[in-house]
Structure 1
Amino acid sequence: MTGYGLASFEDDTFILSVEVKTLNSKFLDLSIRSPKQFSDKEQEIRNMVSAVLERGKVNVSIDFSRKVGEDLPVGFNVSLFSSYYHKYLEMSNLVGADSKDLFKIALQSPNVMTQVTEKTSAAEEWEVVKKYLNIALINCDGFRRDEGNVLEKKFKENLSVLRSGLASISKEDPIRKERIRLRIRNNFKEWLEENDFDKNRFEQELIYYFEKVDITEEIVRLSTHLDYFEKNLKEGTNQGKKLGFISQEIGREINTIGSKANDANIQKHVIVMKDELEKIKEQGLNII
């Protein structure tokens, strides 16, 4: 389920911004971008995220910068620089070369400048980061819940269309059965009068045929699946996978009704129901 959360803080010493983005995923796939001074806190960040956001592709971005910085991000080996410079100057004077770029050359010489690793975050700074990370996570979760409420409303509309189609099929089914009986009676009436046959065996074959085209059980099961889907829709979290399985069963019953009924009027309703079910399956991927 998509989501977005942002929390920021600023005082006289530093500026903090925490951003959380989520996309659809069956599992928790977490990516963290944070300053080096918080690199030792990655596992704690992961624990905080998993406690609030159970599933999804999650990107956490933490931006932290101090307003006043006395320490330089690089270090200088002054004595080594001096040695380089005077040596280059001596060589320059020896050959009579121009010495105006010696300062730049000496500064860029090996080991004169070194990268300074940022200090580990102070405890009070990390507590502030934790606080606003939690706020961002809660905001993101709230975003997802709002989206979930919209999805629930849409699911109920889809279920209403499916129930309407099922009701229409239930009305069409007795008419379909009567058409089948009349067709068999008219087609075989003359043949039955002119030919000798085993009436018991013929009745058995008719019963078997009517059982093959009967969709009563499928209608009952489909109605049960729709009720069960709506029931789970109203229950707590972690219903995404279960609703996905129920959707598969609903699709199986709709397909069976379409193949067994072999009726043009019922097929019209089946097509509409299949289209509506695809909408449910597509949106179902957004449910945690």
Structure 2
Amino acid sequence: MQGQIRSMTGFGKAYLKTETYKLTVIIRSVNGKGLDISMKLPRELVIYERELRNLIKKFVYRGQVSVNVSLELIKVKPKLRIEDLGEVVDQIVFSTKKLGLNISDDLVLNLALRFYHPEPEEENLFTTESFKEMFLGTFQVALKDFLKSRVEEGENLRKDIENNLSQLEKLLEIVQNRAQVLIENAKERLLNKAKQLLQEIETNKVVTQELKFLVEKLDINEEIQRLKSHIELFKKELQKGSPIGKKLEFITQEMLREANTMGNKLPDLFPLNIEMKTAIDKIRQQVANVE
């Protein structure tokens, strides 16, 4: 059973609207060598930053993740508090008696209502358990959407990687089938050129040994076998699922190293060698986005 491949690119969004506020959570990410989380939170919600970071770290291992939370307050008429209004009434009654004034209860109440300005409970609202529960719930909805997008993009990456890997295997098979003929042709050209330059080549043991060494260097069978091994290891790791990005990057580097060595040892591989390196480079670019 193959594991899920996750892309480092993702996007998630969630909304929450109540009678007193509107909340929007946006989470997005791009490629990164490690995990880097940046947060833009309203002043009222900074107290939840650590919890939000911990939630992300449970599910995300690589990528530059940015979180943007916006909070819009909806102005509502503050609720009348009888206790607070009573205090204002007491102050008015005390002041009028001290001044020797005698006013009716209706006038006292009217004055109290005029001077009483209840403060909205915005500050306390954002520290309540009910708000915390709704806020974290909204954040988790955005996080789930974000993770889903990374999985979807990751599976698309898997298909592209597998297609390019299949192309590389086909090219490598062609190289293996043609290698011996190409090596023999290169050997023959090398020997003919040497004979033209050195008429006494057959009696010159030093030159003969040097030629033998150069001819042996034309052999690319070891590189072919190592590249095959790298491909098999790559396929095995790909089945495991994320987080595997860093390991796949390393294997891809080794694959490219073998392809370069083949091209350097046997120039006759051109343009097959170019096609192989192009396929590997495509894989490298795709792997760079795998978590």
TM-score by length of 2: 0.74
Distance 1:50 1:192, change over 3 A: closer
Structure 1 match to 2:47: 40
Q: Aligned equivalents of 1:121 and 1:146: distance in 2? A: 36
Report percent identity of matched pairs. 34
Q: Aligned equivalents of 1:68 and 1:202: distance in 2? A: 94
How far 1:182 sits from its partner (Å)?
Answer: 3.8
Structure 1 match to 2:112: none
Distance 1:125 1:179, change over 3 A: same
Cα deviation, 1:194-243, whole Å, max 9, x if unaligned, reads: 777267x6765454233211111001001111111111111121110001
Structure 2 match to 1:197: 203
Q: Which amino acid aligns with 1:40?
A: I
SS at 2:76's partner residue? coil
Matched, 1:259 2:264: yes
> 1:21 pairs with 16, 20, 28, which one?
28
> 1:243 pairs with 248, 259, 262, which one?
248
Q: Which amino acid aligns with 1:280?
A: I
Structure 2 match to 1:107: none
How far 1:258 sits from its partner (Å)?
Answer: 0.2
Q: Is the 8 A contact 1:53 1:137 kept in 2?
A: no
Report the RMSD for the aligned CA atoms in angstroms.
2.8
Q: Aligned equivalents of 1:10 and 1:255: distance in 2? A: 58
Q: Which amino acid aligns with 2:50?
A: Q
> 1:230 pairs with 228, 235, 238, which one?
235
Structure 2 match to 1:159: 165
> 2:182 pairs with 172, 176, 187, which one?
176
Q: Is the 8 A contact 1:36 1:118 kept in 2?
A: no
Distance 1:191 1:283, change over 3 A: closer
Matched, 1:280 2:280: no
Structure 2 match to 1:127: 133
Q: Aligned equivalents of 2:188 and 2:287: distance in 1? A: 44
Q: Aligned equivalents of 1:191 and 1:15: distance in 2? A: 86
Number of residue-to-residue matches in the alignment = 242
Cα deviation, 1:226-266, whole Å, max 9, x if unaligned, reads: 11111111112111000110111011000000010121xx1
Q: Is the 8 A contact 1:52 1:138 kept in 2?
A: no
Select between 14-23 and 127-136 the one with higher mean Cα deviation: 14-23
How far 1:29 sits from its partner (Å)?
Answer: 1.9
Q: Is the 8 A contact 1:7 1:136 kept in 2?
A: yes
> 1:50 pairs with 57, 60, 64, which one?
57
Question: Structure 2: 5+ residue runs without aligned partners?
Answer: 1-7, 79-120
Q: Which amino acid aligns with 2:280?
A: L
Q: Which amino acid aligns with 2:164?
A: N
Q: Aligned equivalents of 1:26 and 1:207: distance in 2? A: 46
Distance 1:27 1:177, change over 3 A: closer
Distance 1:122 1:70, change over 3 A: farther
Q: Aligned equivalents of 1:65 and 1:260: distance in 2? A: 66
Matched, 1:208 2:213: yes
SS at 1:179's partner residue? helix
Question: Structure 1: 5+ residue runs without aligned partners?
Answer: 72-115
Distance 1:8 1:56, change over 3 A: same
Distance 1:198 1:125, change over 3 A: same
TM-score by length of 1: 0.75
Matched, 1:137 2:143: yes
